């Protein structure tokens, strides 16, 4: 049978009928499809109404995951007796009176058909009482559009909405409901988000007669921390930073998890805009960018953030369920969120009040969930040729390993400078600056016992297998992965120089001639200006040869050929992506990846033996570097083992 014959035999067309107005009850049931998808949709609408009523105590009571019954009770302003029937009619609301209010919505919900739609597919009862009423009043319907009441009922001030037998009169919808456990998990997650978004409100959640959550309203910082602990766990509280930023009319506050406290899923990402629970792709991308190059690939950040913007700058009508929002100044808000979170999680150690020693649990979690990193070549020495000013600033934190005198400080500095091939003039000019800085910071009789004066990462004690630096600070033992740490230091220096439009270049005494394939020469020609901006001076020497006359100063001892080929590969990948997208993007979108590659090549290699002054200089540079807790690939650069943890390992005091 041919396809056309099969279609003619089996395909049926709707009969042609005259146009007629839908019965009101059927129209309500159709509208319910936009508002009520499943029990969690009902709970969301009722909770938003309760919050808009000014309630500070809300109770949600469920039976069979909401499939059997849903009841939401609040102590808000209530609904007057003569407004009850109006409240359950279509297109009636107290939240929007004009177009001006519609474009600057200040409430959580305003859909006039919400209660009408819910009542059309359930056995519905609405009971309410205002402060002026002597008793509560209620109206009810059984899904047929016929309302009973208002009639007097017992009840406290506020509103109670009870929804029984959801979709009892629409079997086609009811058969798509999930198991009670599944529906309850959806509701529990929604309630959790709303509890987080409104700390000033007390919540109680009861399922099948069992109290699942019972949280009082938060009245101070301590109770707020307790609510955060109950909802997200002690580990989030211990490994998150409070954030608060203001710019123009915007305000961002909340908590952002440290990059080391990361997740396999996005299950601990909560973002609220003007108190509204949203899942917005643009805002999520801004936060993803804020954690760029500090999270290990495949991992996700954790955060609880509250964004306040003027209502007239916010459009909440993008999505029927109002999950997504749109900003009139979208790009500026995007940059504000990205910059605020990035500056918080990437703050240098020297700018913080103190170092937070990692807990044993955090250490075990970290070691357990981070996969083995890919092997990467480490081809360059530690020497970065800093300026005299940089060297002085770096050594300003340099304290003696014991009770060294000023002369010993100068001796250590001279040893370091000689190791870095500085001339006598440089030593003579820098030593007085170091001595003055050391005297001003520590005093003439400095002792390592002065814990309050010890820098966050302390002072180097030893190097382990040419890979790890062991240091002592006021909390205990600091372990540093010297390659990962130096990689971040170099990377951040590159980024700062790039922001100043050009990386500092250093001419080579002997130019390097590279033999390349024709395709690689072609790729270099396409990005020639970018290579110049990155600090390279390259010119053609022949059909398949290039001559490198200068390289970025931080990569003076680089394996230039290997680095150059890796960079060409990065640019080739970028070019392929642009062709595939058929769009024109700035090369800057790939620059961070290029700089990361350069930093990885330019950082201190494993098995390089460092002197104690070099190790201390690395620690001081780390304290001044943004995002130093992770390398460019998201791996940790250092961990803290407190004295309590060390005592526990050796069973001391037991």
Q: Give residue-wise pLDDT tens across range 258-292.
A: 888 888 788 889 999 888 888 778 888 889 888 88
pLDDT digits (tens, 9 = 90+) for 527-561: 888 888 888 889 988 778 899 998 887 676 667 88
Residues 360-363: contacts with CB under 8 Å, at least 24 apart: 360/645, 360/648, 361/235, 362/235, 362/238, 362/239, 362/260, 362/261, 363/639, 363/641, 363/645
Range from 57-61, 475-479, 556-560, 561-565 carrying the lowest mean pLDDT: 556-560
The predicted structure's pLDDT at residue 98: 61
Give CATH superfamily name and number for 369-382+448-654: MutL, C-terminal domain, regulatory subdomain (3.30.1370.100)
Q: Is the pLDDT of residue 89 over 60?
A: yes
Q: Each residue of 355-404: pLDDT tens digit? A: 553 433 333 333 333 333 333 333 333 334 444 443 333 333 333 333 33
- The DSSP symbol for 349 reads G
pLDDT at 65: 93
Q: Is the pLDDT of residue 219 over 80?
A: yes
140 CA to centre of own chain: 45
Q: Are 441 and 398 in contact (CB under 8 A)?
A: no
Range with the poorest average pLDDT among 1-10, 176-185, 198-207: 1-10
The mean per-residue pLDDT over the stretch 79-107 comes to: 73
Nearest to 352 by CA among 638, 627, 616, 614: 627
Q: What is the mean pLDDT of the chain?
A: 76
Q: Which of 82-96, 515-529, 582-596 has the lowest mean pLDDT?
A: 582-596
Q: Check whether 118 has a pLDDT greater than 80.
A: yes
Lowest mean pLDDT across 190-204, 406-420, 466-480: 406-420
pLDDT band at 614 (very low <50, low <70, confident <90, very high): confident
Q: What is the pLDDT, as a whole number, of residue 583?
A: 38
Q: Right CATH number for 233-345 from 3.40.1260.10, 3.40.50.800, 3.40.50.150, 3.30.230.10?
A: 3.30.230.10
Q: How many CB atoms lie within 10 A of CB 583?
A: 8
Backbone φ, ψ for residue 631 (5° rounding): -80, -175
Dist CA 623 CA 1 (whole Å)? 78
Place of tokens 């590659």: 597
- One-character DSSP codes across 549-609: EEEEGGGTT--HHHHHHHHHHHHHHHHHHHHHHT----THHHHHHHHHHHHHHHSBPTTPP
pLDDT at 323 (0 to 100):
63
Instruction: Say how many C-beta atoms besides its own lie within 10 A of residue 216's C-beta.
Output: 13
What is the Cα–Cα distance from 546 to 511, expressed in whole angstroms? 10
266 CB contacts (<8 Å, ≥6 apart)? 284, 300
Average pLDDT of 426-430?
A: 38
CATH number (3.40.50.150, 3.30.565.10, 3.20.20.105, 3.90.420.10) of 24-215 reads: 3.30.565.10
CA atoms within 13 A on the CB side of 225: 11
> Which residues share a beta bridge with 273?
276, 307
The pLDDT confidence band at residue 32, using thresholds 50, 70 and 90, is low
The predicted structure's pLDDT at residue 372: 35
Please check whether residue 604 is in contact with residue 482, taking contact to mean a CB–CB distance below 8 angstroms. Answer: yes
Strands (E), 235-373: 240-247, 250-257, 269-273, 276-277, 303-308, 314-315, 326-327
Residue 429 in this model has a pLDDT that exceeds 80: no
Rg over CA atoms, the chain: 32
pLDDT tops 80 at residue 38: yes
Instruction: Provide mean pLDDT across the span 597-614.
Output: 77
Contact 468/481 with Cβ under 8 angstroms?
yes
Least-confidence region, from 8-12, 35-39, 59-63, 489-493: 8-12
pLDDT, residue 365, reads 35
Q: Are 31 and 116 in contact (CB under 8 A)?
A: yes
Instruction: Report how far Cα 72 is from the mean position of its chain's Cα atoms.
Output: 32
Least confident of 77-86, 107-116, 212-221, 243-252: 107-116
Q: What are phi and psi of 213, to 5 degrees?
A: -140, 140
The dihedral formed by the CA atoms of 359, 361, 365 and 366, expressed in degrees to the nearest 10: 10
Beta-bridge partner residues of 62: 70, 207
Question: Where is pLDDT greater, at 144 or 190?
Answer: 190
Q: In the chain, where are the structural domains located? A: 24-215, 233-345, 369-382+448-654
Under 8 Å between Cβ of 295 and 301: yes
């Amino acid at each position: 049978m041919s396809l056309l014959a099969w279609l003619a035999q089996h395909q049926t067309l709707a009969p042609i009928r005259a146009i007629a107005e839908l019965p009101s009850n059927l129209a309500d049931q159709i509208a319910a499809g936009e508002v009520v998808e499943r029990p969690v949709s009902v709970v969301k609408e009722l909770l938003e109404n309760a919050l808009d009523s000014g309630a500070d105590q809300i109770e949600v009571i469920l039976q069979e995951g909401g499939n059997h019954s849903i009841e939401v009770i609040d102590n808000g302003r209530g609904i007057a007796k003569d407004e009850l029937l109006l409240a359950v009619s279509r297109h009636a609301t107290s939240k929007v009176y004009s177009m001006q209010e519609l474009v600057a919505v200040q409430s959580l919900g305003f859909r006039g058909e919400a209660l009408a739609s819910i009542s059309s597919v359930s056995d519905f009862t609405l009971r309410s009482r205002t402060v002026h009423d002597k008793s509560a009043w209620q109206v009810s319907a059984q899904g047929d559009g016929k309302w009973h009441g208002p009639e007097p009922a017992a009840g406290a001030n506020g509103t109670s909405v009870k929804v029984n037998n959801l979709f009892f009169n629409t079997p086609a919808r009811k058969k798509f409901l999930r198991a009670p456990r599944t529906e309850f998990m959806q509701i529990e997650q929604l309630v959790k988000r709303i509890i987080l978004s409104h700390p000033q409100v007390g919540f109680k959640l009861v399922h099948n007669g069992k109290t699942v959550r019972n949280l009082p309203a938060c009245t101070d910082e301590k109770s707020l921390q307790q609510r955060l602990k109950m909802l997200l766990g002690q580990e989030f509280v211990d490994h998150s930073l409070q954030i608060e930023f203001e710019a123009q009319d915007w305000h961002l506050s909340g908590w952002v998890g440290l990059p080391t406290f990361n997740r396999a899923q996005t299950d601990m990402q909560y973002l609220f805009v003007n108190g509204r629970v949203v899942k917005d792709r643009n805002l999520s991308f801004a936060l993803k960018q804020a954690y760029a190059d500090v999270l290990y690939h495949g991992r996700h950040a954790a955060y609880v953030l509250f964004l306040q913007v003027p209502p007239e700058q916010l459009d909440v009508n993008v999505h029927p369920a109002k999950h997504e929002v749109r900003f009139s100044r979208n790009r500026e808000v995007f940059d504000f969120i990205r910059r605020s979170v990035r500056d918080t999680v990437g703050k240098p150690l020297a700018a913080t009040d103190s170092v937070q020693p990692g807990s044993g649990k955090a250490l075990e979690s970290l070691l357990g969930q981070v996969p083995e990193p890919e092997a990467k070549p480490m081809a360059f020495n530690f020497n970065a040729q800093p300026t005299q000013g940089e060297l002085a600033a770096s050594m300003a934190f340099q304290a003696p390993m014991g009770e060294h005198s000023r002369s010993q400080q100068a001796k250590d500095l001279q040893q370091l400078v000689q190791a870095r091939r500085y001339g006598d003039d440089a030593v003579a000019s820098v030593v007085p600056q170091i001595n003055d800085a050391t005297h001003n910071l520590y005093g003439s009789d400095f002792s390592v016992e002065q814990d309050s004066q010890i820098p966050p990462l302390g002072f180097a004690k030893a190097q382990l297998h040419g890979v790890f630096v062991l240091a002592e600070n006021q909390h205990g033992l600091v372990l540093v992965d010297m390659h990962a740490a130096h990689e971040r230091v170099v990377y951040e220096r590159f980024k700062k120089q790039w922001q100043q439009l050009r990386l500092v270049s250093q001419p080579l005494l002997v130019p390097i001639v590279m033999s390349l394939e024709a395709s690689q020469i072609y790729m270099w020609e396409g990005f020639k200006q970018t290579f110049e901006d990155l600090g390279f001076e390259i010119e053609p020497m022949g059909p398949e040869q290039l001559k490198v006359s200068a390289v970025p100063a931080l990569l003076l001892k680089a394996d230039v050929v290997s680095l150059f080929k890796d960079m060409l590969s990065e640019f080739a990948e970028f070019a392929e992506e642009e062709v595939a997208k058929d769009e024109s993007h700035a090369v800057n979108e790939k620059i961070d990846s290029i700089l990361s590659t350069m930093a990885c090549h330019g950082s201190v290699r494993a098995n390089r033996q460092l002197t104690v002054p070099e190790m201390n200089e690395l620690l001081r540079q780390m304290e001044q570097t943004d995002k130093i807790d992770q390398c460019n690939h998201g791996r940790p650069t250092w961990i803290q083992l407190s004295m309590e943890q060390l005592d526990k390992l050796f069973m001391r005091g037991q």
